[in-house]
Structures are given as structure tokens and as C-alpha cells.
Structure 1
Amino acid sequence: MAEADREQWGYVPFEHVGPLRFGMSEAEAVVAMEAAGFTCEKETRQGHITGKVTCRRPTARGMEPDVTAYFVDHLDAKGLTCLTVDGRGGPQVTWEGVKLIGRVPSQLTAEFLACVEERDLGFGISAQGDVFPVDQGFIPATQRAGDAVVTRAMFANPEGWAFTVGDCIPEEAWDVR
């Protein structure tokens, strides 16, 4: 998808990604996404992740949803805990001036390294080998887009039920290729 055609979303770590706030209910997430022009489907789940909402723009043609939101109902933690943004057709999400979605992975890595050095942040490397700034509530990943590979991102807030951002991300979210 062309950069100019993507919705533009901001990201505040552990607070919100675009119109979606961590901790909001499934119903609130559906209302927010439908107001932004997406169509949504809800799915009840078993285990720690008790709900899933997939959202697509009406013009979306890909197999993957543009945005997938995961919900938890565990002890003191309730509501949106994780969301993923598709690299081919999802909204552009910007963190600290860095565009995270639909990028060439090596270019995003170079920007991350410059950004973490400038801000004196640490960085980590995901199980798939993607570089990310630690303690910022997201992990980038990659997926195929025809003959190319582009970046996507997984955002999470572990507060109240998990130890790390990675613990909040369901296995199926890691498996998007």
C-alpha cells in the first residue's frame, strides 16, 4: 500500500495506538475502529486472551486484517492488552518520529539504532532477529509483501497480568508471515 493511502496513527507507549487505548473493552474498540472507517469481527477465546477483534478497511484485499486487537480478563487486568498492525495494509504508526509500518526492515533497524542512541534507550532483538527499543511497549516484526519483506508491529501493555510485552503477544501474532 502506498504511504499516502495509509491512515496515520500516533503511538504513546503503554497508553494508546491511534484510536485504541490499552484497557478499553472490546465494545469500545469496535466503536472506535468503526468510527475510523474499519469493519470489525469479534471472536471469543479461551485462556488468558479472552477476546479478539479483527478490523479491516472496506477496501482491504489482503488475507490478514489491517489491525488485530487482543483482550484479557485476568485478575486485575481487563481490556485491550495487545494489538498488531499489518505491514501491507495497516495504518502507519509513528513512534518518536519513526514510521513503523510497511518499511524495509534494514531501514527501520537503522532508524531504531539512531533513535535509541540519541535518547539513551536500550535495544533488544526479537526471536525473529528484529531490533527494537526496550521498554517502549512494542516489538516490530516482518512479513512478506509479494517478493518483498516489510515491517509490521505488535504493541502491548503487560500491566496487571504479564511480565513483559512479549508475554502479552499471542503465538498466532508471531506467526504472521
Structure 2
Amino acid sequence: MTAVYGEDSGLVAVAIDWMDGPLVRLRDVELIARVPSEVRSDIHDLARREGASVRVNWSGDPEIAAWGVSMGAGQEMGLSPEGYAQRRDTVITYALLVGPEPAEDPYGSELVIRWRDVREEEPNLGAWPVKAEQDRPHWDWTPLKGIGPLRFGMNPQRVAAALDEVPAARHGRYPFGQSREGFGAWMLHDDRFDAVGVTAHYSCGFGTPPTLGAVTVHGRIGPQIDFDGIRLIGMTVSAVDAALIKHLEEREIGLIIGCGGDLGPDGLNVYVRATRAGDAVVSEARFCKAEWEDHG
């Protein structure tokens, strides 16, 4: 669990982890490490009995200001038969529990933002539709060079033109450590394209214009990509992991594990990731140029 403190060092919030945190009960409702849809149903039942109002928070999960509770979910992990950590195909619940001051908008509270800032996260309305395989276009992938119509090194204007779409969201920052001359030029980090189902990640720096360095293909709606006959997008994560490991072992190719437990073949700078789809997860992938250092 994580304790969040205010200006006077008083406790204002506690975040309970989904894998390692203690079990927490609200009245007769167990909140932690459960199937999200079951917890949501139990919370709504309790709220009706007590006359409390339930809303949907940034992640699409229940939030109840009267109780200071904001729910969430993270991917469940387990152990392989050999005793190694492995990703499961499910998510389980966690909770942010707050005091009266941030209860009206827990993740919008400055005190909570200092711990976890979700303002640039893609908001969810509580639904996780997954596009059917037959409705996804298939893109080619040239390792370390590009994917679909995108080539690493493109500027943002060429990326948008190649996708024929205006970004739904842009993320970036002003550089740190500037002199008294000012903040410097804003640096673009990511463009999210919701119609196509990809996010473009840019390399940039002081005085260096942004160029395409990586592309994340979204698991729920993005185009399909194959790696030696293994479909990487919108699939059961454990099945992709197993197929990838078997394929690499048979060819004596090394396996790379990313920051978030993401798997990829050595030397290709691609990582199979997981994204939430309700109570489950589906696979997505990030494809990078050779010089890109992925940090999850």
C-alpha cells in the first residue's frame, strides 16, 4: 500500500495494491483483489441501500465521494509451473481511499496528483469494446524501420498525414533545467490516434524537433500485426506469451522482458503489452526503432 500525505504531513489518502495489499472491507463488500464487475455490482447494491451516489472515475471504475472510495484494476500476475512470474489474462481490483478534502475528486486533487498524475491518461467511460479480428486491417511490420504506413524518423505532420487522422490527444512537456531565459519550446512526446488505434511516440530534445521513435498498436481497436505467424494484437495475453516463448526457444533467440513484464524477441525492439478489456486483458504491442529505450 502507499500512504499519501498533505502539507502538514497528515495522512490524506491510502492506495491499496491489487497484488500485495491488504484486503479491505467496506461494510459487507470486499474491495481488493476481486473481479471488477463483481465489485461494481456489490458497490451499487450497497449504495442503493445507503442512499449514496456512485459515479464513474477516470479508469471507468466506481467512485463514491460519500465514502472516499475510488476503485481501479490492475493485471493479475501468477507463477508458471517452473516458478517464474507470468502474466494472467485477468485484472483484479485495487482502491484509492481518501479523506474528506479530496473525496469530491480524488484523482483531481493536487495532493493525489503529486503521487499519481492521471490527467494525461485516456479516460474510460466504463466500457471496453474489443474490435473483432475480421474488422481489423492487417499492417506489415519491418523491424526497426517502421510499421504499416509509418516509418521511424517521420515528423508529426507526416505521421498524421500517413494515418489520415488528426490526433485525438497530444502529450508533451516543457524541458526541465532551462535558464532564466524561459521555459523553452514545448516538446511533443505522444500523439494518440483513436480511429486507427495507435499512439505515435516521438524522440525529441533541446532544440531537436520530434521524430517518430516508436508506435503502440492498441489492443482493443488497433490493426493486426503478425510476427512469424503469431498474431500480436487483441489476443489472449497468455497465449501470445506462450507462442512467443516457444517460437524463440525453438530458434534459440533471446527473450527480452520490458519494464512492465512485456515480452519481446531480442534484437527487434518490440514488446507485447497488455491492455484492459473489462475484467480481462488483451494483447497490444509497441514497435520501436533501434535506438529507442522503452520505459513501459
Q: State the TM-score, normalizing by the size of structure 1.
A: 0.75
In 2: Cα distance, 1:41 partner to 1:129 partner: 28
State the match for 2:194 in structure 1: 56
Contact 2:236–2:281 under 8 Å retained in 1: yes
Q: Which amino acid aligns with 1:50?
A: L
Query: Which segment is superposed worse, 21-30 or 127-136?
Result: 127-136
Give 1:1-177 correspondences, 5 Å limit: 1-34=131-164, 38-41=165-168, 43=170, 45-46=172-173, 47=175, 50-57=188-195, 66-74=197-205, 79-159=211-291, 164=293, 166=294, 169=295, 174=296
Q: SS in structure 1 opposite 2:167?
A: strand
Q: SS in structure 1 opposite 2:239?
A: helix
What is the CA-CA distance between 1:143 and the residue it aligns to? 1.4
By relative contact order (CA 8 Å, sep 6+), the higher-ranking structure is: 1
In 1: Cα distance, 2:283 partner to 2:268 partner: 17
In 1: Cα distance, 2:143 partner to 2:198 partner: 17
Contact 1:81–1:157 under 8 Å retained in 2: yes
Contact 1:26–1:51 under 8 Å retained in 2: no
Closer, same or farther: CA 40–50 of 1 in aligned 2, 3 Å: closer
Contact 2:188–2:210 under 8 Å retained in 1: no
Contact 1:139–1:155 under 8 Å retained in 2: yes
In 2: Cα distance, 1:45 partner to 1:30 partner: 17
In 2: Cα distance, 1:82 partner to 1:127 partner: 16
In 2: Cα distance, 1:70 partner to 1:130 partner: 17
In 2: Cα distance, 1:73 partner to 1:127 partner: 21
Closer, same or farther: CA 44–124 of 1 in aligned 2, 3 Å: closer
What is the CA-CA distance between 1:71 and the residue it aligns to? 1.5
Closer, same or farther: CA 128–51 of 1 in aligned 2, 3 Å: closer
Q: SS in structure 1 opposite 2:140?
A: strand
The sequence identity of aligned pairs, in percent, is: 32
Deviations for 1:123-157, whole angstroms, at most 9, x for unmatched residues?
Answer: 02233333321211211111111122111111212
Unaligned stretches of 5+ residues in structure 2: 1-130, 177-186
Q: SS in structure 1 opposite 2:267?
A: coil
In 1: Cα distance, 2:268 partner to 2:222 partner: 20
Query: Which segment is superposed worse, 95-104 or 112-121?
Result: 112-121
Contact 1:10–1:95 under 8 Å retained in 2: no
Count of matched residue positions in the alignment of Structure 1 and Structure 2: 154
What RMSD, in angstroms, separates the aligned Cα atoms of the two structures?
2.5
Q: Which runs of 4+ in 1 moved over 6 A?
A: none
What is the CA-CA distance between 1:91 and the residue it aligns to? 1.0
In 1: Cα distance, 2:289 partner to 2:204 partner: 13
What is the CA-CA distance between 1:110 and the residue it aligns to? 1.4
